[in-house]
Chains A and B, each alone.
Chain A
Amino acid sequence: MKRRTIAVLLALVTLFGVGSLGGGKVRLVFSNWHLVEPHWEKSLKEAIAQFMVENPDIEVVLDYVSYAEKETKYMTAIEAGVGPDVMHLGPAEVSFGLFASRGYFYDLTPFIAAEGPGFLDAWYPATVEALTYKGRIYGLGANYQAMVLMYNKRLFVEAGLDPDKPPTTWDEFLAYAKKLTRDRDGDGRIDTWGFGTVGRVDPGFQLRFTPVLFSHGGDYLTPDYKCSVLNSAAGKEAFRFFVELFTVHGVIPPGVTDMSPGKVREQFAAEKVAMILTSAWGPPIIKSIRPDVAWDQILGMAPVPVKAGTDPKIRTTAFLSYYAINRNTKHAAEAWRLLKFVTSKAMQEKWFRDANVLSARRDVSEEYGPLLADPYAKLIGAELARAKLVPLIPEWPQIIEAVNVAVQKGFIGEDLSKAWAEAYRRINDVLAVYRAKGEACPPY
């Protein structure tokens, strides 16, 4: 009996020992928030399966993470000395500056150099520059798409507007929004509004406010990041215009300060709002919320309006996501192979086919046939030439929070000048790290 017990124990130990050897494969953990979205999950699993066939020495384990808490999860894991080997992060401004400044990423520069000259030529230069910190490259761009105006043609027709003539100026936009704000069901209460937007303190706020700011000719910071430029006439005008859409003109539904991007899309899908600012991800999500509606005949897209009488070179912003390698990885070379694979031309084309996202690679967004044949994608790709990324500096989350709170204060009826001035002051306090001792910013 005793001998039998020892034999069984030895067999178990051997089994576990052999199991742990892994057959000599390198194990990589690949983390991507898109895995929690069914259409993305299928596409990513197919891609990873293909990668493992092409790289039989690597085993990839998928790590699911929520979009909202991925930065928190990665930061905690990396500080603890662990974390996934390859991570997908975005929007870039939320994480890149913070993570790169704290040394969370593996330096990709030597890998890129080893690929030979011209490797980075495939990517939009703005994305390469954005993902460079102190002269070193820490990420490769993945999704890159401009923010545009999406509108409901059916509601346009009902309000007596031409569905093929979307607004091109902010004055037109306001006039349209007023007409679109109406009582559709005849019960005496307004149930459809002209415009839906994000008012909650949320990363999505930046993507909706920045186009308004840029298209008015405004900006956030000086090029050297020493001071805010929200005190410009254009900045003040953009802020006032955005807030008064709600407080004066009533073309935004109630509860705007509680609106997240998901809630705004639900409002659009429910035809509670006629226009929103979005990008390539918008139509598939709208269709998934209400698959019974023939959205292909209803949705329209157009460039972001501009101030009347102007044609600014920059009139919108862009969403940029990127892949990076964890500094704690024990298999940097293999992680680089995986990162290169998911950002390759073939895979970026696949992401468009499966998930309707545009790429940070110019040889995809400017050359891929099916993308150029899609009218929405073509427009969004073309608008990248009129788009500018916000500063990807470590202080950015604090800067945009100050702006977000100022807009909320405007929405809840506080004094606009005071709210905007406070944002200006707070941002300049945060930017003190870029100024020499004694150097001051202009008064508001």
Chain B
Amino acid sequence: MKGPRSEGTAKVIKNERQGYWFVLPCFILLVAVLGFPMVMAVLNSFTPIWTKGLSGFTLAYYQRLFHDDVFWNSITRTIYFVGATVGLHLLLGLAVALALNTAIRGRRFFRVMAILPWTVPDVIAGLVWAWMFDPLSGILNDVLLRLGLIASPVEWLANPALVMPSVILADAWRGYPFVMLVLLAGLQAIPKDLYEAAKVDGASAIQEFFHVTLPNLKGMIAIATILDIIWQARRFGLIWVMTEGGPARQTEILSVLAYRQYFKFFNFEYASAMSVALALVLLIIGLPYVRTVARKV
């Protein structure tokens, strides 16, 4: 005989099943927009599926990666770019988040201003910074020349020693707000009594930062870092409009190389192998984040 308790459980189960129906359209969209291209890219990296169908699997495209010095150059460029930009995003993001977490006048205004770079599409940001870096007509050289800090125009995007730092600077400006927002949320979640207790114990501001703020922010820093690494490794638009991976492959990160192989050289299978290789690395990096989210769910 059904009692009140089993009726309640049945209702919960029914509500859960209804929930799946609400999620279904989004799931179908994700499969179509993300899942299908992902599966096709993986298949394409083993066989020329677009032109010859499933005509036989081969590891030839992956084998080619190992012997291709241009591919390995793009790996080192990617590590350089991702390491530097994620580091700068963290530093800038934390600094601005700490500043915005204080009770200053006009805090809301400054918060809006701090987010603005993130609202600029990376292609537009790239174009703007490319103009600023122009050796003859860019504002940067103009100001530096007028101040007497340089004697002749600096080739920001043509000098091999300066081009990657220039691209990194442009991306640091555009990308830090996301990290700032994540860390700001984390800062605001730190209980105030921890700081009061530290004050009572006679801790200085620096000691508070290292012994209260940072330990409590560890989780958010980890999440922001993992997500930023994944996004930065896939950065394309800003680099393409600024340098197209030049000069002489100095800024040719893997996403730029894969794009060129696919859309300029029509080496679909080889480009797919590159993309799958990158995706595997990012999946390994992203596993801790996925596990954390799955645990919460």
Q: Is the CB of B136 within 8 A of A253?
A: yes
When the two chains form the complex, which single residue of A71, A102, A255, A398 contacts B158, counting CB atoms closer than 8 Å? A255
Q: Would you give the shortest CB distance from B269 to chain A, in whole angstroms?
A: 13
- A258 proximal to B (CB < 8 A): yes
Q: Chain B residues near A201 (CB, 8 Å)?
A: 244-246
- B58 proximal to A (CB < 8 A): no
* Bound CA span A189–B151, Å: 9
Q: Is the CB of B248 within 8 A of A405?
A: yes
Q: Is the CB of A409 within 8 A of B248?
A: yes
* Bound CA span A369–B249, Å: 48
- A352 proximal to B (CB < 8 A): no
Q: Is the CB of A412 within 8 A of B159?
A: yes
* Bound CA span A414–B263, Å: 28
B207-243 residues at the A interface, CB under 8 angstroms = 243
- A372 proximal to B (CB < 8 A): no
Q: Is the CB of B248 within 8 A of A254?
A: no
Q: Is the CB of B247 within 8 A of A102?
A: no
Q: Chain B residues near A401 (CB, 8 Å)?
A: 260, 264-265
Q: Is the CB of B136 within 8 A of A255?
A: yes
Contact with B along A255-283 (1 / 0, CB 8 A): 11110000000010000100000000000
Q: Is the CB of B266 within 8 A of A412?
A: no
Q: Chain A residues near B157 (CB, 8 Å)?
A: 255, 257-258
Majority SS of interface residues in chain B?
Answer: loop
When the two chains form the complex, which single residue of A79, A253, A397 contacts B264, counting CB atoms closer than 8 Å? A397
Q: Is the CB of A199 within 8 A of B265?
A: no
Q: Is the CB of A75 within 8 A of B155?
A: no
Asked if A102 meets B266 with Cβ closer than 8 Å, knowing A254-B158, A412-B158, the reply is yes
Q: Would you give the shortest CB distance from A262 to chain B, in whole angstroms?
A: 13
Q: Would you give the shortest CB distance from A208 to chain B, in whole angstroms?
A: 16
* Bound CA span A98–B155, Å: 35
Asked if A199 meets B247 with Cβ closer than 8 Å, knowing A72-B263, A255-B155, the reply is yes
* Bound CA span A211–B10, Å: 80
- B51 proximal to A (CB < 8 A): yes
Q: Chain A residues near B246 (CB, 8 Å)?
A: 200-201, 257-258, 405, 408
Chain B, Cβ-Cβ closest to A98? B266
Q: Would you give the shortest CB distance from B146 to chain A, in whole angstroms?
A: 11
When the two chains form the complex, which single residue of B51, B245, B264 contacts A102, counting CB atoms closer than 8 Å? B51
Q: How many residues of B contact A (CB 8 A)?
A: 26
* Bound CA span A413–B248, Å: 11
- A394 proximal to B (CB < 8 A): yes
Q: Chain B residues near A79 (CB, 8 Å)?
A: 50
Q: Chain B residues near A202 (CB, 8 Å)?
A: 244
B136, B153, B249 — which one has the most chain A CB atoms within 10 A of its CB?
Answer: B136
Q: Chain A residues near B188 (CB, 8 Å)?
A: none
Q: Chain A residues near B152 (CB, 8 Å)?
A: 189, 254
Chain B, Cβ-Cβ closest to A76? B263
Contact with A along B111-141 (1 / 0, CB 8 A): 0000000000000000000100011100000
Known: A258-B157, A397-B264. 20 other contacts (CB 8 A): A75-B266, A102-B51, A199-B158, A199-B247, A254-B158, A255-B153, A257-B155, A257-B157, A258-B134, A258-B155, A258-B243, A258-B247, A267-B136, A394-B266, A397-B266, A401-B265, A411-B247, A412-B159, A412-B247, A413-B160
User: Chain B interface (Cβ within 8 Å of chain A)?
Assistant: 50-51, 130, 134-136, 152-153, 155, 157-160, 243-250, 260, 263-266
User: Chain A interface (Cβ within 8 Å of chain B)?
Assistant: 71-72, 75, 79, 98, 102, 189, 199-202, 253-258, 267, 272, 394, 397-398, 401, 405, 408-409, 411-414
**What are 10 A-B pairs at a CB distance below 8 A?**
A199-B158, A199-B247, A254-B153, A255-B134, A255-B136, A257-B246, A257-B247, A272-B136, A397-B264, A412-B159
